[in-house]
Amino acid sequence: MQNSTLKTVSTYFLLLAIAILMLFPLLWLISTSLKSPGEQIFSFPPQLIPKSPTFANFRTVWDTYPFGRYLTNSVIVATLTVGLNLLFCSLAAYPLARLSFKGRDLIFATVVSTIMIPFQIVMIPLYVLTVQLGLRNTYLGIIFPAIASAFGIFLLRQAFQGVPKELEEAARIDGCTELGLWWHVMIPAVRPALVTLAIFVFIGAWSDFLWPLIVVDRPEYYTLPLGVANLASAFSLDWRLIAAGSVISIAPILLLFLFVQRYIIPTSAASGVKG
């Protein structure tokens, strides 16, 4: 009994230590953004609790830098990227999971193999194609490489394969077409996988820095990562203001996760049957 209790305490202590280690950079960032000009930022041991907390840093960043525009751009880009990913990946994954046709496995293997190709290899051809299509300095140009992903197709294909065959057969007996079967049965049945994919895609699109830096050179199309990158030069390395801008950029991601995490729970596949 004592060994079991000791093992449980040790496990929780280890998990707590890992959690503190992982959360420390975030806590330090928030603490720095709330510190007044007279407080030390780099000290040992670190002072995570500001002596005189203030929101003046956030007001300064918001008033003197067009963070509102950057926030709007990031919301537009991330929302469009998530919507197009869910649409195209689910449309591609459904036939690869539920339909039988010649070359299906070869197509799936080819799609999955592209995961191993680094983005830097295809970056130049993508940029040339984007310019030729006239998409430079546009929202569509920013989201162009991310409108579908091999990971999303793989994830949704595995989810579609887990839907009971009985649901599909019942829908076909009711006269459901392939498109209706995809929309009314499969999509509701794999909702947790869709939410999971949406979170991954949103985080990737929200924090993407390299591609927007390449395809956009007009400040009115800057996303938050580009805006935060320019904070150092704009405020002469004032780490309080840089931290405040960084907190503004990551806050929507944290709020999104808190809002949608309850949906990442497998539900009964029977919910896919619509009346």
Do 79 and 10 sit in the same domain of this protein? no
Of the candidates 36, 54, 72, which is a domain's last residue?
54
Q: What is the pLDDT of residue 23?
A: 87
Q: Is the pLDDT of residue 8 over 90?
A: no
- How many structural domains is the chain composed of? 2
Q: Is the pLDDT of residue 252 over 50?
A: yes
Q: How far is the CA of 172 from the CAs of 93, 99, 158, in angstroms?
A: 19, 13, 21
CATH of the domain at 222: 1.10.3720.10
The mean-pLDDT minimum among 87-91, 145-149, 174-178, 197-201 falls in 174-178
Residue 5 and residue 183: Cα distance in Å, rounded? Answer: 50
Do 68 and 45 sit in the same domain of this protein? no
Tokens (6 digits) for 205: 């699109």
Do 129 and 220 sit in the same domain of this protein? yes
Looking at residue 31, its amino acid is S
Q: How far is the CA of 231 from the CAs of 65, 174, 225, 241, in angstroms?
A: 9, 59, 10, 8
Q: Is the pLDDT of residue 2 over 70?
A: no
Q: What is the pLDDT of residue 202?
A: 93
pLDDT > 70 fraction of the chain, expressed in percent and rounded: 93
Do 17 and 50 sit in the same domain of this protein? yes
Do 240 and 138 sit in the same domain of this protein? yes
Of the candidates 54, 75, 98, which is a domain's last residue?
54
Do 25 and 126 sit in the same domain of this protein? no
Q: Is the pLDDT of residue 274 over 80?
A: no
Of the candidates 234, 209, 237, the residue with the CA atom closest to the CA atom of residue 223: 209
Q: What is the pLDDT of residue 74?
A: 94
What is the pTM assigned to this prediction? 0.83
Do 166 and 243 sit in the same domain of this protein? yes
Q: For 202-236, how does the pLDDT look when each residue is reduced to its tens digit (9 = 90+)? A: 999 999 999 999 999 998 999 999 988 877 666 56
Residue 163 and residue 147: Cα distance in Å, rounded? Answer: 25
pLDDT bin (cut points 50, 70, 90) of residue 268 is very low
Of the candidates 22, 39, 54, which is a domain's last residue?
54
Mean pLDDT of 189-211: 92
pLDDT bin (cut points 50, 70, 90) of residue 264 is low
Do 136 and 264 sit in the same domain of this protein? yes
Mean pLDDT of 180-209: 92
pLDDT bin (cut points 50, 70, 90) of residue 271 is very low
Q: What is the pLDDT of residue 232?
A: 67
Do 116 and 234 sit in the same domain of this protein? yes
What residues contact 1, with CB distance under 8 A and at least 6 apart?
none
Q: For 50-79, how does the pLDDT look when each residue is reduced to its tens digit (9 = 90+)? A: 888 888 889 888 888 888 899 999 999 999
Q: Is the pLDDT of residue 269 over 60?
A: no
Do 126 and 140 sit in the same domain of this protein? yes
Residue 186 and residue 171: Cα distance in Å, rounded? Answer: 10
Q: For 111-134, how does the pLDDT look when each residue is reduced to its tens digit (9 = 90+)? A: 999 999 999 899 999 999 999 999
Do 242 and 197 sit in the same domain of this protein? yes
Do 11 and 117 sit in the same domain of this protein? no
Of the candidates 241, 220, 199, the residue with the CA atom closest to the CA atom of residue 81: 199
Name the residue range of residue 155's domain. 60-272
What residues contact 74, with CB distance under 8 A and at least 6 apart?
206, 223, 224, 225, 249, 252
Place of tokens 């720095």: 32
Of the candidates 221, 90, 220, 227, the residue with the CA atom closest to the CA atom of residue 159: 90
Tokens (6 digits) for 50: 């500001």
